[in-house]
Structures are given as C-alpha cells and as structure tokens.
Amino acid sequence: MIKKRWGHEEMIYLGPYMVKRIVLKSGKHTSMHYHAFKTETLIIEPPGVLLVRFDDGRIVRLEPHETLTIPNGRAHAHQMINEGGVTVSYIEASTPHPTDSFRVTDTLESISELLADGTITEEEACQLRTKVTS
C-alpha cells in the first residue's frame, strides 16, 4: 500500500499491464497530473462517483461500473464524490509504468499536506509554492 495525502493506492497486479485500487478519502482529490507513457482506464466501484477534471476545464462524471480511458500526456485530476462522507475506491488498469506521474499544478493546501506527511521535503515544498503563486 502506498499512502497519499488523499488516501492510498493498492497494487493488485504488475506485469504486462498494471492494476491498482485507488482509495480516495471523502472530499479529497489528486493533484492535476499527467503520464508521459501510461494510458489508464478507470473503473468506478460502488457506491462511489468520480469526477475527472481535465486541464482544458472539461469535467467527466463517472457512476459506479462506468469506465473512462485517459491517454498518455493528458493532464487530469480525480475527485471522489459520495453522500455519506465514506472513503470509496476505483480500479485503475493501465500500461505498466508505476512511476510515470508528473504533477502539473497543486494547491497551497495540497503542498502543506504533502510536506506534513513526509511525501516531499521543505525544499520541494518551497519550489512548488513558487510555481503555484507565480
């Protein structure tokens, strides 16, 4: 399990393709990010509803059991929606590139959370804050 500020990832399979369960805490979201090589397909698990926001402003709403394929190079962010404030999850099936993720933007709140949980160093936090506020 890989802990994230927004929840965690569970690697289910890594071989000629990769399968992960992504668990998002209620009200949390991933950073806007893209993958240089990885193409991913998201499969929503009940009872969750996932919003996928793209860098062009388009938002796709996915209901349980719906899927969406995101090609490599396309910046996007994920946010889970649920009525009861419960942590929910979705499956990500993708090409096998486990470290191919690049942040495009982050909020100041996200940067503080990443620093607090030890995901980034103070120096990295300062660099990200400069990018966000400039």
Q: Is residue 25 part of a domain?
A: yes
pLDDT of residue 76: 93
- Per the structure, the complete domain to which residue 45 belongs is given by 2-101
pLDDT of residue 106: 57
Q: What is the DSSP string of 109-121?
A: HHHHHHHHTTSS-
Q: What is the DSSP string of the chain?
A: -EEETTEEEEEEEESSSEEEEEEE-TT-BPPEEE-SS--EEEEEPTT-EEEEEETTS-EEEE-TT-EEEE-TT--EEEEEE-SS---EEEEEEE-S-TT--EEEE--HHHHHHHHHTTSS-HHHHHHHHHHHH-
pLDDT of residue 133: 47
- Contact between residue 34 and residue 75 where contact means Cβ atoms under 8 Å apart: yes
Q: Is residue 116 part of a domain?
A: no
Q: Is residue 122 part of a domain?
A: no
Q: Is residue 125 part of a domain?
A: no
Percent of the chain whose predicted confidence (pLDDT) is above 90: 38
Q: Is residue 55 part of a domain?
A: yes
Residues of the chain with pLDDT under 50: 133-134
pLDDT of residue 111: 64
Q: Is residue 111 part of a domain?
A: no
Q: Is residue 90 part of a domain?
A: yes
Number of domains making up the chain: 1
pLDDT of residue 49: 85
Q: Is residue 30 part of a domain?
A: yes
pTM: 0.74
pLDDT of residue 11: 95
The CATH number given to whatever domain includes residue 82 is 2.60.120.10
